[in-house]
Every structure is written in structure tokens, then in C-alpha cells.
Amino acid sequence: MSIDQRKVSRALLSVSDKTGVIEFARALAAMGVELVSTGGTRKTLADAGLNVRDISDLTHFPEMMDGRVKTLHPKVHGGLLAIRENPEHEAAMLAHDIQPIDLLIVNLYPFEETLAKGASFEDCVENIDIGGPAMIRGASKNHQDVAVVVDPGDYQCLIEELYETGGATRLATRRRLAQKAYARTAAYDAAISNWLAEQLKDEQPPVRAFGGRLAQVMRYGENPHQQAGFYLTADARVGVATAKQMQGKQLSYNNINDTNAAFECVSEFDPLRTAAVAIIKHANPCGVAEGATLVEAYQKALRCDPVSAFGGIVALNRRIDVATAEEIIKIFTEVIIAPDADDEAIKLIGAKKNLRLLLTGGVPDPRALGQSFHSVSGGFLVQTRDRAVVEDMTLQVVTKRAPTARELNDLKFAYRVVKHVKSNAIVYAKDCATVGIGAGQMSRIDSSRIAAHKAQEAAEAAQMTISLAQDSVVASDAFFPFADGLLAAAAAGASAIIQPGGSINDKDVIAAADAHNLAMVFTGVRHFRH
């Protein structure tokens, strides 16, 4: 047999996830493959009536230390690592009674799943696999001779190949499986190392790794000439990665990015306190609002910028009812994401075949720990998630006039939203709804002017004679370096300002606010979002 094809005579099976393993092993046995297995896997196969050898028959060494030591043995690793047709390796195998292993089937202890369940430190440690990764790495290194399977999804195609070749694996298949196996151990180790860093409260460990499992191949990336894939990490944060897509075509790269931005924005609003809706376009909010009902919140959010909302993403923090669904489908919408939806609402949305509906089962915690990372040439930047919440901030009134109760409520609302607008960011809000948003400008004064212009446009669209910015409040994601941005807000009709403070020109800005009878509060917390 050529080096391209290697006969499978002996297979070692040791799996935590036993999905399909009985059927797979039965097919191997039918082709005359000797089955060797460990612990629970061996029992599962034996109970199914299969003739299977215990690993101790190969090693002549018992399992010990609660199963921690069973495959860590030269006869196992020698059987995986021995280069076939290498005289020195063959001599060593004969001298030490090492039997070759041609096929390794291993999936690992469920560390990620255990972590996601919020298990104790001790349980997480016990679910760190040692023997499995060691065998996977050994078999993968020797993929010239040995095939390694770490995913039950590969069982069927491998069986088909064995039938086609008369019981052999092809080199291309072994190489593909080896790449997948190394990626699996890399992602597994990354999850463990990041968890340990969290336990140590080490936010910048000396070596950082991230790993993920391919969820879907995208048609393309941000643009058609770019290739992209969507990968899932061990982070179990509720959102687009955990959502169930109820209908519609595959999400695009931009859809996923925008939908994530939308749901993270709406998560700032506790569903037990208020209904809230966020409408997102190009990862920026174009309308956010609270309401007594989702319908009210959606209508207020849409009023802010109905032009930009066309073809946008709608995120809701509560279960979608029919009335809300009826409103949303009145204009073209790419994606709706929410914790849940009534059956009738699902049916109504389902009539729009190109409208995707994602149900998450919950809303993420804006205060939860987590990391974000961004690639740069030759590396990547890692930071903790921006989990600062305005309710936890000490607000300092810095002007002669303090905000009224209504203004203060709107200021807090606006600061929740500005956190999710690209810098430089300015948000005008009134009655717990955005009325003008200026995002991503190189100058803060330009963001202020754009937000004011949007407020005027929204008023005209609603057939109102006065700008929506009149008697509104303004939130800035960072300090005003000069009074000009603040003055632009005042000219638009704003009555109160919330900003981090911290500029060397704070005194001038405060003086300008006092001169225009503006109330202003400092948060001491910046929300840059580049």
C-alpha cells in the first residue's frame, strides 16, 4: 500500500461525547478493525455488544488516580508515534511489545461546558483533560501514518473513505484531520489558560491565546473580495453567538457584527425595569428608546432617524408580541434579535422570508467580565469589556444649575446609549429616547452639529415644527476639549449635559454652560469606542 493510503488495523477510542460512537465503532468492527478503549467508552461499546479490548491489555498497567493515569504510557504513545517502515522504530516496537495504533478517536473532557455552567474551581480543574490532548498531539504529529478524529461530525465521512479504499485512510484526510485536531487542542488550552487568568485576576498574562470553533463560513467578509468565518469561543455570553435563528437566509459578516452591537446596546436596559429597543445601522445606534411597552419603545426609537433605520438591525430587551412585530415589519429590516417571541409574532415575522429573527433566551449582563480583542499588524490588542454602567457612577454636578429630575433621568439614559456610539460620540435624548445621534467624527463639534441636524430632520419627518433637540439633554462619550461642542448643543436647544470631565479646559466649558443656564454633570468615566 502506498504512503498515501494507510490500512487501519487497530483503533483506540476514548471519548467524553459519546454521540455516534457506537455506530462508528460497529462500522469499524465490521471492517475487521480491532477496537481498544478506556473506562466509560469501553463500557459503552461493550454494553452495545462490541468486542473491545481494555487499554490495560495494551499497557499491562491499570488505570489509577481516579482515571487520571490510563493512556499516559509508552505503549500507547509509541503505538501512535512510531513511523511505519522506519527500521529503528520497528525494532523498538518489537523490543518493547508496542502495537501500532492506526486510528485515534478522542474528544476531550467537557471543560468549556463545565465552565459555562458556572461550576466550582475544583470541578473545572477535574474537567481539564491531560491524556486526551497528549494522544491527539502525538497522533497528529504522526499523521503520515495515523488518523486522528476529535469531532463526531467526522465519523461518517471517515467510514465512507474506509469503505472506498478497502479499509485505509488517505494522506489528505489524515492531514486535514490533524489540522483540526491541533486547532481543537489549541482552543481547549486557550479556554483553560484564560479561565486561570481570570481566577488569578491577571488581566494581562504574559502569553495570551484565543481559540474558537467554526460556526459558519461566511459568503464573504465586510466586502465581497474578503473571505470570512464566524467562530464561537468558550465565552457563553448571551447574544448573537448563542441565539437560535428562527428563519431567514444566512447572516452575513456585517449582519453578525451589527446584530451584536445592537444587542449589547439594548442590554444596558434592564428588562425588569423598562421595555427598550435599539435600532442599529453600521454598528452605530440610529435610534434607542425606553417605553412602557415594546411598541412604544420601538416607535420612539424609529422616530429618531427613520431614514437610517431602513435596512437596519432591531434589538429588543423583552419578548416580542404581535403588536411590536406588526410595527417592525412595516419597514425593511435585516435582523430582529430578542430574548423571545410570542408564537403569533414569530408567525407574522415569518411571512417576511428575508427577515432574520434571532432568539437568545435572555439578555446579557452589561456588568459581566469579559475580553475583547482586535488584530493589528503583527499582533492583537486585548482589553476588558467596557462594563461601566451609569447607575454605578458618582455623578458630580459642576454647574450653578443642577439638572431637574426629568433631565437627570434623560441624562442617565443618554449615557447608556453614548457608550455604544462610535467616537467621537454625541447623543441628544428626551423622554428616554434618542432624538439625535452624531457618531464617529474626527471633531466633537462636528458630531454635535450632526446630532442636531438629525434631530431637526426627525422633527420634519414627524411633521413637527420644532426640532426634537429642543429641551433635550446631551451625552458626550469623552470630555469637551473646548466649549464649542457644548455651545453647538446649546444652540440646538439642549438644556443639560452629561460628560466624563477631565479636560484642562473644564473651567471654560463649565463657565460656558453656566452662561447658557445649562445643567452639567461629570461622570469621571469615559466611553471611547473607536
- What span, in angstroms and rounded, lies between the C-alpha atoms of 193 and 209? 8
Choice among 7, 18, 73, 282 that is catalytic? 282
Are 290 and 275 in contact by the 8 Å Cβ rule? The answer is yes
Are 266 and 335 in contact by the 8 Å Cβ rule? The answer is no
State the burial class of residue 91 (Cβ atoms within 10 Å of its Cβ: 0-12, 13-18, 19+): exposed
End-to-end alpha carbon distance in the chain: 58
Tallying the residues shown for the chain, one arrives at 530
The question of whether 347 is a catalytic residue gets the answer no
Torsion of CA 432, 438, 444, 449, to 10 degrees: -100
- What span, in angstroms and rounded, lies between the C-alpha atoms of 317 and 364? 10
- What span, in angstroms and rounded, lies between the C-alpha atoms of 193 and 187? 10
Choice among 7, 18, 73, 141 that is catalytic? 141
The question of whether 244 is a catalytic residue gets the answer no
Query: Residue 134 is which amino acid?
Result: A
- What span, in angstroms and rounded, lies between the C-alpha atoms of 87 and 67? 34
* Vertex 249 angle, CA 247 and 252, to 5°: 125
Torsion of CA 32, 37, 42, 45, to 10 degrees: -30
Bridge partners (DSSP) listed for residue 335:
313, 356
Query: Residue 119 is which amino acid?
Result: A
Cell of 145: 501514518
CA distances from 245 to 229, 242, 250, 352, 499 (A): 17, 10, 9, 14, 38
Query: Rounded to 5 degrees, what are φ and ψ at 335?
Result: -145, 140
CA distances from 399 to 151, 418, 516 (A): 62, 21, 11
Cell of 163: 469503505
Residue with cell 487497530: 10
The pairing of beta strand 213-217 with beta strand 275-281: unpaired
- What span, in angstroms and rounded, lies between the C-alpha atoms of 174 and 170? 6
- What span, in angstroms and rounded, lies between the C-alpha atoms of 111 and 121? 11
Cell of 190: 486557550
Cell of 355: 427577515
Which residues are the active-site residues?
A: 141, 282
